[in-house]
Amino acid sequence: MIDRTVLKEHFVKWVLVAFALSSLLFLFLIFAFILGEGLPLFLKVGAKKIIFGMKWAPTKGYFGIFPMIISSFLVTLGALTIGAPLGLSCAIYLSEYSGKRMKMLLKPAIELLAGIPSVVFGFLGVIYIVPLVRNYLGGSGFSLISTSLVLGVMILPTIISISFDALVSVPKTYREASAAMGATKWQTIYKVIIPSAKSGILASFILGMGRAIGETMAVIMIAGNALKIPTSLLDPLRTLTGNIALELAYATGDHRLALFSTGVVLMIIIMALNYIANFGIKRKIAK
Amino acid sequence: MHMLLRLFVLLAVIPGLCVACGNTGSNAGKQSITVAGSTSVMPFTEKLAEHFMIDSKDTAIDVQGGGSTAGVQATINRTVDIGMSSRELKDDEKVLNRIVICHDGIAVVVHRDNPVTALTLDEIRGVFSGKISNWRQLGWVNRKIDAVSREEGSGTRGAFEELVMKGREIDDATMVQDSNGSVKEVVATDPYAIGYISMGLVDSKVKPVSINGIRPSLATIRSGKYRIVRPFLYLTNGEPDKRARRFIDYVLSKDGQRILRNEGLVGVHD
């Protein structure tokens, strides 16, 4: 009898191990496929011509994605400019000021915001934000500023929840000590809590950046997808993810490989961002 | 440990079973024809296939997209019975057997409120190559032109480059949308936009402009006056076999051509 129970325990454990490892396997497979498909073109054309090339016309032999790399970073910075102050303020309010009732209202609302599919954001962007920008600011409306606005809202849940966690994990004794020194609440937040939660807050910004740079559906709907590097906030632009999604359907041969190469560059950027974010958090824990 | 092994075997078998289920069922005992390629031709082929299958219940037609270039490649590799293309064959692709099933005009469209109704081919080329960038140059207000194109690799873009651009490159500042529908949507909402779409899809939401004085319509395409017209092609590798032949004959028959005409295309016999 005991034997069977033990066996069952082992069985369950091994099943769970297998499933847990499968996510690693998937990650490995994704890496292997993207690199396997994307690297040949790097070898054939040369990394410099792809990464720093200014001209993208894959059916005519030009594979430069530099404008898209710049555009991806521009929308990400734009999104952060909008999302970071809003998100951090919300996190500070939630952790330091809000009562239980407000928290019970806000937290599920933020989770709901995170659950809204990106195509819905894109649709709302096209229907409301694009015409607003076109009518009041000029240009076609499909622009850097519209995309940044929508992405800024989309990264709010990431920024709020991670910086909230960082803020509440600041020990209560810090707050008490600060209050005992005669500091006001805002002084405590500004001088004590934010500095000690700094790495967590930065990590939230960087993970938000990762979300913004990886966003695709909403971006192709709003960004206008022009190949030129935008020279004003009202110019359209094409991101790395948008490039893959736009042209995937028709791509064959080197064109298809070029899209995988775009994927390689994107993967490296996102890996770097995640590494920075994790490094920030880990350093904080090690302290 | 052997439990774990069994689990893996099970995991490996399940997807296999699913695939097996998917393949049997409807197609059992039927002959099947695979048609793949241009997404511009695909919706019409689907419609034709539906009608064809009502009459010949022993045949199943599997219609897939992938784009013109993919359709050409698949026909060359013999992975499909019939390839679809919405652009002319390039020189190295001319080994294939080419059947014109109908013609489709490409219309240059602007917003309904745009007073510009006529442009020359040179002006359109100028707009998309970036030489003309302000509506004032076309006799309207002093406002930037929001030109919208299709993505690289699209058959509609390929045909537009061949018939309108004639070697000039489409400017990098031109916006890009990934379907006829999205181009139409942009032009329908942005008063300063200009784009090009398949003529079968033009409706009251957008306004087609006449080019060199010729309005795009079935009549002007038929008479050969409207020149921005591309063929919709079916491709086979060598002579089509009996199954494929029957479907192609149906498409070229009176019934088949009527279906295409009702969709706003110009038949081969017109």
Q: Domain of A90: which CATH number?
A: 1.10.3720.10
Reply yes or no on whether the pLDDT at B22 is more than 70: no
Q: For tokens 């609302």, what's the residue?
A: A109
Tell me the CATH number for domain B2-102+231-267.
3.40.190.10
Same domain for A259 and A124? yes
How far off is chain A from B219, nearest CA to CA, in Å? 31
Q: Coil, helix or strand for A175?
A: helix
Residue A196 sits at φ, ψ, to 5 deg, of: -80, -15
* B-chain residues near A251 (CB < 8 A): 67, 153
What integer best gives the mean pLDDT of chain B? Answer: 86
ipTM of the complex: 0.82
Residue matched to tokens 């060359």: B76
- The number of C-alpha atoms within 13 Å of A277 and in the hemisphere containing its C-beta is 21
What pLDDT is recorded for position A283?
59
Contact list in B for residue A238 (CB cut-off 8 A) is 176
**Chain B residues touching residue A249 (CB < 8 angstroms):** 39, 65-67, 153, 178
- Do the Cβ atoms of A250 and B153 come within 8 Å? yes
Shortest distance between the Cα of A55 and any Cα of chain B, in A, equals: 9
Chain A residues close to B151, C-beta within 8 Å:
225, 246-247, 250
DSSP state for residue B88 in the 8-state scheme: P
Domain span holding position A37:
4-45
A11 and A78 share one domain: no
DSSP SS3 for A128: helix
User: Could you give the dihedral angle defined by the CA atoms of residues A170, A173, A178 and A179, in that order, rounded to the nearest 10 degrees?
Assistant: 120
Report d(CA B258, CA B262) in Å as an integer. 6
Inter-chain touch B193–A140, beta carbons under 8 Å: yes
Q: Which residues of A touch B85 (CB under 8 A)?
A: none
Same domain, A174 and A82: yes
Under the banding of pLDDT at 50, 70 and 90, the label for residue B266 is confident
Using CA atoms, how far residue B233 sits from A182, B2, B74, B105, in Å, is: 82, 57, 14, 14
Mean pLDDT check: name the lowest of A232-246, B107-121, B214-228: B214-228
Please give the pLDDT value at position B1: 41
Phi, psi of B44 (to 5 degrees): -75, -40
Is the same domain home to A257 and A117?
Answer: yes
**Region B65-76 average pLDDT:** 86
Answer whether A214's CB lies under 8 Å from A270's CB.
yes
Per-residue pLDDT at B27 exceeds 60 = no
Do A97 and A25 share a domain, yes or no? no
User: Are both A166 and A252 inside the same structural domain?
Assistant: yes
Q: Is residue A217 part of a domain?
A: yes
Q: Do A220 and B178 touch (CB under 8 A)?
A: yes
Query: Do B2-102+231-267 and B104-222 share a fold?
Result: yes
In whole angstroms, how large is the CA radius of gyration of chain A?
Answer: 23
**Residue B108 in this model has a pLDDT that exceeds 90:** yes
**Three-state SS for A269?**
helix
Predicted confidence (pLDDT) per residue in B226-254, tens digit: 999 999 999 999 888 888 999 999 999 99
Q: Which two tokens stand for residue B228?
A: 């921005």
Q: Given this model, what pLDDT does residue B3 score?
A: 47
Q: Are residues A29 and A119 in the same domain?
A: no
Q: Token pair for residue B67?
A: 């784009």
Q: Would the CB atoms of A15 and B4 count as touching at under 8 Å?
A: yes
Q: Which residue has the higher pLDDT, A148 or B270?
A: A148
B8, B153, B185 member nearest A255 (Cβ):
B153
Asked if B48 and B17 count as a contact pair (C-beta separation under 8 A), the reply is no
* A50 falls within a domain: no
Q: Whose CA is closest to B174, among B141, A48, B117, B164?
A: B164
> With contacts defined as CB-CB under 8 Å, which chain A residues touch B113?
none
Instruction: Name the residue ranges covered by the structural domains of chain B.
Output: 2-102+231-267, 104-222
- Answer whether residue B26 shows pLDDT above 70: no
Interface of B with A in 1-20 (CB under 8 A): 1, 3-4, 7-8
Contact between residue B150 and residue B187 where contact means Cβ atoms under 8 Å apart: no
Q: Which residue has the tokens 């037609």?
A: B61
Whether residue A180 is found in the same domain as residue A234: yes
- B35 DSSP assignment: E
* Secondary structure letter of residue A190 according to DSSP: I
Are A137 and A163 found together in one domain?
yes
Nearest to A134 by CA among B208, B144, B108, B180: B144
Residues A170-225: tens digit of each pLDDT: 999 999 999 999 999 999 999 999 999 998 999 999 999 999 999 999 999 999 99
According to DSSP, the β-strands at B97-111 and B206-208 are: antiparallel
Q: CB A226 to CB B173 under 8 A?
A: yes
Which chain B residues are closer than 8 Å to A228 by Cβ? 171-173
Average pLDDT (B111-127) is: 95
A-proximal residues of B, 231-260, CB under 8 Å? none
Statement: residue B167 has pLDDT above 50: yes
Residues A103 and A131 placed together within one structural domain of the fold:
yes
- Within 8 A of A134 by CB-CB distance, chain B residues are 190
Residue B4: what pLDDT?
A: 47
Per-residue pLDDT at B29 = 62
Name the domain count of chain A: 2
- Whether residue A62 lies inside any domain: the answer is yes
Q: Is B160 part of the contact surface with chain A (CB cutoff 8 Å)?
A: no
Out of A11, A59, A228, name the one closest to residue B152 (CB): A59
My answer on whether A79 and A126 are in the same domain is yes
Reported as a single tens digit per residue, the pLDDT across A80-107 is 999 999 999 999 999 999 989 999 999 9
- Listed in sequence order, the DSSP H helices in chain B are 2-23, 42-55, 68-76, 121-129, 155-160, 180-189, 218-222, 242-252, 254-262
B193 part of contact set with chain A, CB < 8 Å: yes
Q: Mean pLDDT throughout B36-57? A: 89
Q: For residue A130, list chain B residues with Cβ-Cβ distance below 8 A.
A: 189
Searching chain B, which residue's CA lies closest to the CA of residue A251? B153
The matching CATH number, chosen from 3.40.190.10, 3.40.50.970, 3.40.50.1820, 3.30.70.260, for B104-222 is: 3.40.190.10
A28 in a structural domain? yes
CB atoms B174 and A226 under 8 Å: yes
The chain-wide mean pLDDT, for chain A, equals: 92
Our CA-based measurement puts residue A255 at a distance from the nearest CA of chain B, in whole angstroms, of 8
Predicted pLDDT at B152:
87
Looking at residue A220, its pLDDT comes to 94
Does residue B19 surpass a pLDDT of 70? Answer: no
Residue B120 has pLDDT above 80, yes or no: yes
Residues of B in contact with A11 (CB under 8 A): 3-4
Share of chain B above pLDDT 90, in %: 60
E strand map for A105-205: none
Record the pTM.
Answer: 0.83
Length of chain B in residues, anyone?
270
A174 and A39 in a common domain: no
Gap from A211 CA to chain B (nearest CA, Å)? 23
In a domain, A51, yes or no: no
Q: Do A250 and B67 touch (CB under 8 A)?
A: yes
Is B177–A139 a contact, with Cβ atoms under 8 angstroms apart? no
A27 CA: distance to closest CA in chain B (Å): 18
Tell me which residue in A141, A228, A247 faces B190 most closely, judged by beta carbons: A141
User: B92 at the A interface (CB within 8 A)?
Assistant: no
β-sheet bridge partners, residue B264: none
